[in-house]
Chain A
């Protein structure tokens, strides 16, 4: 095979998700609001991409175009070379509010995806048991979501998304509604899942610390209309050291955090 075509093939297979000059506008005429402008971004399978930016910068809008809830006004979003055209089971989504199904037990929620696919009952219970045990929710399998704490509900939402073996996990401020202690614990758990599965993750957050601590790549967005200001490679997610307090007080960590904060600060007040 000629080298040229081989290298093209390799490049395209490396870009797992691409945003190709994506723009989103709401409304029309005088009421037209540009939420996103000229977003071009790509990442590879296995990346953990954190997106940070001031409130109203279109982070959620960006995620929604990849999830397929929102069609971009121009440009396109692709996953494995195919243009995103509506939601699908290959992209698991976790929202800030867990959006669990309150009429189903914990086990019912965890097995919802496989149930929709018509997976055999034995296979379903196996997946559910494995995932619930991993998340420490097995003892609660017959409870209902309203009987769980906020942190456990969010853990269940993640378990529910993972049961489908999605190619990518999209998370929109998943820990935003949790208390500080639970939040740190959930960060560790998410990191462990990512390390164990090698799954691709897109995390929307407004905690700069969380973005840098968990992400292999940190994308900083500007105030509306949302643009990408900077993309930074962060080394901390791949470190074996998982003492979060120690990592978060490393000089490199602090320097990166200050850099990102100053970017956001400037964009929000210019």
Chain B
């Protein structure tokens, strides 16, 4: 008989193995602090950053700035993309008009046009938020479009025979039917925006958690780099968790 180990236990095991390897390598003197700082040094670095901040801004300000950029770029891009995608799914004409741009923009690496945005809009906030907006838009547009196209025809027929007008079909059947795919698009979009943000802060800026990592790296402060990476990672996990929580509440029926 196979021994049944709860899945959660495996997660704990992998975390413990990683922690043990970290402790052995650093405290055992196998690697230099520059390459991999030991836990106590990271903790000190975190305390430093939390109390004194980094280069004229507190750690929380850097985090806040990054979060604000993500929020502004993602929300505007996802909303615009969703509206565009709904229209593309519903009207073939709109799809024909918008598809070339959406399909071209979607696989384009954001860094490819970042320089153009900097030339056009400068190195301030505007170019960064437009960059994130453009990163989020095509993902959401394609998801919403497919969501509309995948509405079962019978569901629409059923609504029509129940007396639904064109607008009611859209409002009460097409929109809720597409919601699960819109959410999937939003989660992919957050990932794209997240990756793009760090790149944007690295290339042009003097604030934000991504910039902090790059700047600390230039001075070989790998302890600050690690703290920054861990914070970014945790922020990402939290963001995704929030979206998943919203999703399970709003589209509880998806996949059933």
Say if A and B assemble together: yes
Given contacts A101-B176, A144-B253, are A95 and B154 in contact (CB under 8 A)? yes
A67 cross-chain contacts in B, Cβ below 8 A? 157, 161
Q: Which residue of A lies closest to B164 (CB)?
A: A116
Given contacts A103-B179, A144-B252, are A164 and B162 in contact (CB under 8 A)? yes
Q: Mark A116-129, 1 if CB is under 8 A from B, else 0.
A: 11000000000000
Stretch of A24-32, A85-93, A209-217 lying at the B interface: A85-93
Does A113 make an interface contact (CB < 8 A)? Answer: yes
Q: Which residue of A lies closest to B250 (CB)?
A: A103
Q: Mark B155-177, 1 if CB is under 8 A from A, else 0.
A: 10111111111001000110010
- In this complex, the member of B158, B159, B256 whose beta carbon has the largest number of chain A beta carbons within 10 angstroms is B158
Are the C-beta atoms of A103 and B176 separated by less than 8 Å?
Answer: yes
Are the C-beta atoms of A112 and B162 separated by less than 8 Å?
Answer: yes
Are the C-beta atoms of A160 and B157 separated by less than 8 Å?
Answer: no
Does A99 make an interface contact (CB < 8 A)? Answer: yes
Given contacts A102-B253, A103-B176, A144-B253, are A93 and B164 in contact (CB under 8 A)? no
Given contacts A89-B162, A99-B152, A101-B173, are A116 and B157 in contact (CB under 8 A)? no
Does B251 make an interface contact (CB < 8 A)? Answer: yes
Are the C-beta atoms of B251 and A103 separated by less than 8 Å?
Answer: yes
Q: How far is the CB of A112 from chain B (nearest CB, A)?
A: 6
Are the C-beta atoms of B158 and A93 separated by less than 8 Å?
Answer: yes
Known: A93-B158, A97-B154, A101-B173. 18 other contacts (CB 8 A): A67-B161, A69-B157, A86-B160, A87-B157, A87-B160, A89-B161, A89-B163, A91-B161, A92-B161, A93-B161, A95-B154, A95-B158, A99-B152, A101-B176, A102-B253, A117-B163, A144-B252, A145-B253
Give the contacting residue for B157; candidates A89, A93, A101, A146; CB below 8 A: A93
Given contacts A67-B161, A95-B158, are A102 and B256 in contact (CB under 8 A)? yes
**B residues within 8 Å of A by Cβ?**
152, 154-155, 157-165, 168, 172-173, 176, 179, 251-253, 256
Interface residue total, chain A, C-beta cutoff 8 A = 27
Does A220 make an interface contact (CB < 8 A)? Answer: no
Given contacts A99-B155, A103-B179, are A164 and B163 in contact (CB under 8 A)? yes
A95 cross-chain contacts in B, Cβ below 8 A? 154, 157-158
Does A237 make an interface contact (CB < 8 A)? Answer: no
Q: How far is the CB of B162 from chain A (nearest CB, A)?
A: 4
Q: Which residue of A lies closest to B157 (CB)?
A: A69
- In this complex, the member of B154, B163, B168, B252 whose beta carbon has the largest number of chain A beta carbons within 10 angstroms is B163
A-B contact count (CB 8 A): 67
Give the contacting residue for B162; candidates A86, A97, A161; CB below 8 A: A161
Given contacts A99-B152, A101-B173, A103-B179, are A146 and B162 in contact (CB under 8 A)? no
Given contacts A113-B163, A116-B164, A164-B163, are A146 and B253 in contact (CB under 8 A)? yes
Q: What is the CA–CA distance of A219 and B164 in the complex, to the nearest angstrom?
A: 31
Q: How far is the CB of A102 from chain B (nearest CB, A)?
A: 4
16 residue pairs from A and B, CB less than 8 Å apart: A68-B161, A69-B157, A86-B160, A87-B161, A91-B161, A95-B158, A101-B176, A103-B176, A103-B251, A112-B162, A113-B163, A116-B163, A116-B164, A144-B256, A146-B253, A160-B158
Are the C-beta atoms of B162 and A99 separated by less than 8 Å?
Answer: no
A88 cross-chain contacts in B, Cβ below 8 A? 160-161, 163
B253 cross-chain contacts in A, Cβ below 8 A? 102-103, 144-146
A145 cross-chain contacts in B, Cβ below 8 A? 253
Given contacts A95-B154, A103-B253, A146-B253, are A161 and B163 in contact (CB under 8 A)? no
Q: Which residue of A lies closest to B160 (CB)?
A: A87
A116 cross-chain contacts in B, Cβ below 8 A? 159, 162-165, 168, 172
B158 cross-chain contacts in A, Cβ below 8 A? 93, 95, 99, 157, 160
B162 cross-chain contacts in A, Cβ below 8 A? 89, 92, 112-113, 116, 160-161, 164
- In this complex, the member of B158, B161, B168, B256 whose beta carbon has the largest number of chain A beta carbons within 10 angstroms is B161
Q: What is the CA–CA distance of A82 and B168 in the complex, to the nearest angstrom?
A: 25
Q: Mark A67-105, 1 if CB is under 8 A from B, else 0.
A: 111000000000000000011110111010101011100
Q: What is the CA–CA distance of A162 and B189 in the complex, to the nearest angstrom?
A: 43
Q: Which residue of A lies closest to B253 (CB)?
A: A102
B172 cross-chain contacts in A, Cβ below 8 A? 101, 112, 116
Q: How far is the CB of B194 from chain A (nearest CB, A)?
A: 29
B165 cross-chain contacts in A, Cβ below 8 A? 116
Q: What is the CA–CA distance of A113 and B158 in the complex, to the nearest angstrom?
A: 10
Q: What is the CA–CA distance of A97 and B152 in the complex, to the nearest angstrom?
A: 11
